[in-house]
Chain A
Amino acid sequence: MAVPPPLDKLDPTEVWKPWKPSAAEPWDRKWAAHLYRRAAFGASSAELSLAVKNGYTETLDLLLKGQPKAAEMVSTLNDVGRVAATRDADGTQLRGWWLYCMLQGGHPLREKMSLFWHNHFATSIVKVRDPDLMFRQNVLFREHALGTFGPLLQAATRDGAMLLWLDSNSNVKGKANENYARELMELFSLGVGNYAEKDVREAARAFTGWHTDGIGFRFNEAQHDDGDKTVLGKTGAWKGDDVVKIALEQPACARFLVRKLYSFFVSEIDPPAALLEPLCASFRKSEYDVASLVKTMLASRHFYSDHAFRTRIKSPVEFALGAVLATYRRYDESDPHSRPLAHQSLIRWLTGMGQTLFAPPNVKGWPGGRTWLNTATVLERNNFAAALVSGVVWLPPAEQQAFVVSSDLPPPKALDPARVLEEQKATKPEDVVSALLDQYAPGGVRVEAREKLVAFVADERPTGLLLARRAREAAHAILTMPECQLA
């Protein structure tokens, strides 16, 4: 493929125009998988086949809107989550529930945006210490996931977990605590450089008395400083909501969010400001309509180009769920092969890879990108892959097992990477590798790596159960490859 022009040579109006598949660049598994990695958490092989069959427009539409009953399912999902939040104090059940929503909630893009907001308004259960408050905040993110940013920012500013997290109760008249005011500007709306220290101090006064009763927002009038404040050039007897409004009026707000969403959906290679300008303009004009911004990005020519293809490092959630989705087959419940996914089994692996849901490292969230990968987290990814292909991931921890399960036993069919050999009737090493790559690395891998895989599968010509086992070993290796760490 020809080397594309550098980012600063691209025409900012052209790149955001809708992409149209062509004979030279058709809608195929490569681009379908690309879209599913970004707009969802990956896809099964069957989903990708369906996506290619249904065509680009229909697939994009399905991802943007979710399954037909996705909206109706939300209240059921939330009912389950509410109960999960009461089951323990450390949030394990809650994490398992959210993973369920991501994998099987019918609207992966909504969950992905919820994850984006969780990282944007990064709040940790480590300090909040109440799974129910974390659950409520999560419901908030889901509700506003693809809504407009203004109401979300207002709601997050009154969220119980957030108020605890940023010490709102210690923000009192005459002795302002700047914590929320600062993060509102620095991390939630404008970014460093777009406000002055004085704005933070004045805004903090507007947030005095902005308290919580331990569950939700409670305005403590007696502790509110009702004097005039000057925030970002505007003077008045502002309260918290007013400061949020003022922040939303700043041109920096759209720039800040568009850049962050670009990095989340399109590419982690820093774009020049000019490239994002058309998106900022329409985002502002739409009064921060997130769904329409995300749609523009995911439907753009730029998105289906080398500037976007495999230019993000998968977060642990993306890596693990992607691998699970590629492996798992959801059989009909009446089928003897049907197996439910044990979502909670994934949590300890995610922690090892550096992403414990509901517990981001600090208010800046997970720094992401290249920081996801160090020798400890890469090793964890390798070992997760090994445990996934052998099915060990799904076994209860050794101390809870009634009897020792040998890891040499093949995993149940629904969770077996080697199922693909049977489904595709692959017996020749080349075919086995093709089938596995199609499943785990759609879009292809480096030729030399592929050759090594074929040689590995061909060694001593295994057949039957031995071939299936060899295929699992090859699947492990594929999941450790650089291509599989990239979204």
Chain B
Amino acid sequence: MFSRRQFLTHSLRGSSLVALGAVVPEFVAQTARAAAPGKDTILVVVEMTGGNDGINTVIPYADDLYHKARPTLRQTKQQVVVLNDNVGLHSGMQALKPMWEAGNLSVIQGVGYPNPDRSHFEAMDIWHAADPTRKSKTGWLGRASGSMKNRDGGVPILHVGPGKAPLAAAGAEGSGAVSVGEQNAFKLELGNGDRKDARRKLLEEVSAPAKTAGSGEDNPLSFVQRRQVQTLTAVENLRELLEGPNAIRGFGGGLQQKFQLIAGLIARGFGTRIFYVSLEGFDTHAEQGPTHQQLLTQLATGISEFFRELKDTGNDDRVRVMTFSEFGRRVNENGSRGTDHGAASCMLLAGTGMKGKVVGKHPSLSDLDTDNDLKYHTDFRRVYATLLDNWLECDSKSVLGAKWDHIKDLAVR
């Protein structure tokens, strides 16, 4: 855990917030109070874009049918990260082995919804909106952010990646979902030219709490003052992470860089409770082997490195990472050593101190649905509901429009 002193040094180094002369001591203290890492829980959602091959992610290595269905893509017990007598993680996910052994990883099998859609676009909307009828124009995370407590008052949802925020984040209150990619949208506008620093300094000064202000003061003026200082600090923090001397390199590219940025923001008390990242390229119709291997390695390394960084700053036990994809893939591989669009699939949930396990049985490879795809047994909205109620502590019924049973075996804490 960072000590307060370490935190201050860390978060304010290089920021013009330290250059405030006489105002510094109380001002910095107040800033630290405003921005000190809170105890709010955090959810990081990882979208595996393109339709991840669930069968080759959580692999039923002990099932002969699997080896028959996947003559070139199959992995053996010796290759996989064995989870139990039936299933194991793809060999690309070795990095998750320590997390699994420490009980910090759960896999949820057989996840889906009725009448699954096999179009990327439509299926993705369904997962984002948590609405198989696709009527909803808002996302489950966006709706959740409105009913969540956000003690730190940070950006409700931060989407890390290029492009605009995902549908999942739509409907968030306030600026709701902010996207930071190569084009950082979370910037303070200070005009052109050489006046930027002077203007930034003025903004900080005119909202700086008085030297004598008591910390317990909670009138509207001090509240607003705190929010303004916190905002300027957050902008600085992000700017430093993106542009500073130790800027995260290659940001906007790899998943690991995105995770690094998120870990940095969490350590600096950015105050955001929902982060959203995507890993693209899972639409593996041909020559799936190497691509899938590489993607799953990125994912596994990203998650394990992320938690290592979080642990260093004492934040690992308040963060959960959830993965999903718009659909799984067909049971039998195709003639191009790839797989085509399928239905039910698996999800991962990672986090420190949650008694991880394999949740639910792997769907049968012989008892298939009418399209010859895996049958789901766990509606994805049950996963959402479990996380919403038990982790983000907001009422899942109001977010999902109906009460979904929690998944008993999925311990999120």
Contact = CB atoms under 8 A, between A and B. Distances in A.
Interface of A: 126, 268-269, 310-313, 352-354, 361-362, 366-367, 370-380, 382-383, 386-387, 390, 407-408, 445-446, 448-449, 452-453, 456, 459, 473-474, 476-478, 480-483, 485-486
A376 B178 CA distance: 7
Given A353-B174, A377-B175, A390-B191, A474 B156 contact: no
B206 A352 contact: no
Contact of B206 (A380, A477, A486): A477
Given A374-B155, A376-B155, A313 B220 contact: yes
A387 B220 contact: no
B174 A374 contact: yes
Interface in B130-158: 137-138, 146, 150, 153-156
A453 B202 contact: yes
Given A452-B202, A481-B206, A380 B175 contact: yes
Given A126-B138, A373-B224, A374-B154, A379 B235 contact: yes
Contacts of B175: 352-354, 374, 376-377, 379-380
Nearest to A359: B171
B224 A375 contact: no
Interface in B219-249: 220-225, 227-228, 230-231, 234-235
A390 B190 CA distance: 10
- Ranked 7 nearest A-B pairs via Cβ: A376-B175, A354-B174, A482-B224, A378-B231, A386-B189, A376-B155, A377-B174
Contacts, number: 139
Contacts of B208: 448
A480 B191 contact: no
Nearest to A480: B203
A375 B220 contact: no
A448 B225 CA distance: 14
A473 B195 contact: yes
A353 B227 CA distance: 14
9 contacts: A313-B220, A352-B175, A361-B146, A371-B174, A373-B224, A374-B155, A376-B174, A382-B189, A448-B210
A354 B207 contact: no
A383 B188 contact: yes
A380 B155 CA distance: 11
A126 B129 CA distance: 14
B210 A386 contact: no
A456 B146 contact: no
A39 to B, nearest CB: 19
A453 B206 contact: yes
Interface of B: 137-138, 146, 150, 153-156, 171, 173-176, 178, 186-193, 195, 198-199, 202-203, 205-208, 210, 220-225, 227-228, 230-231, 234-235, 270-271, 398
Given A354-B175, A375-B271, A382 B203 contact: yes
Nearest to A460: B198
Contacts of B190: 386
A408 B153 CA distance: 34
Contacts of B225: 482
Contacts of A377: 174-175
Contacts of A473: 191, 195, 199, 202
Contact of B228 (A311, A387, A452, A480): A480
Contacts of B173: 354, 361, 366-367, 371
B158 to A, nearest CB: 9
Given A354-B175, A362-B146, A374-B154, A452 B199 contact: no
B350 to A, nearest CB: 27
A400 B208 CA distance: 39
B206 A378 contact: no
A408 B202 contact: no
A392 B341 CA distance: 48
Contact of B205 (A382, A452, A478, A485): A452
Contacts of A268: 220
A459 B205 CA distance: 15
Contacts of A453: 202, 206
A267 B178 CA distance: 31
Given A374-B175, A477-B199, A486-B220, 13 more contacts: A269-B220, A366-B173, A372-B174, A377-B174, A379-B231, A386-B190, A453-B206, A456-B202, A473-B191, A480-B203, A481-B228, A482-B222, A482-B224
Contacts of B137: 126
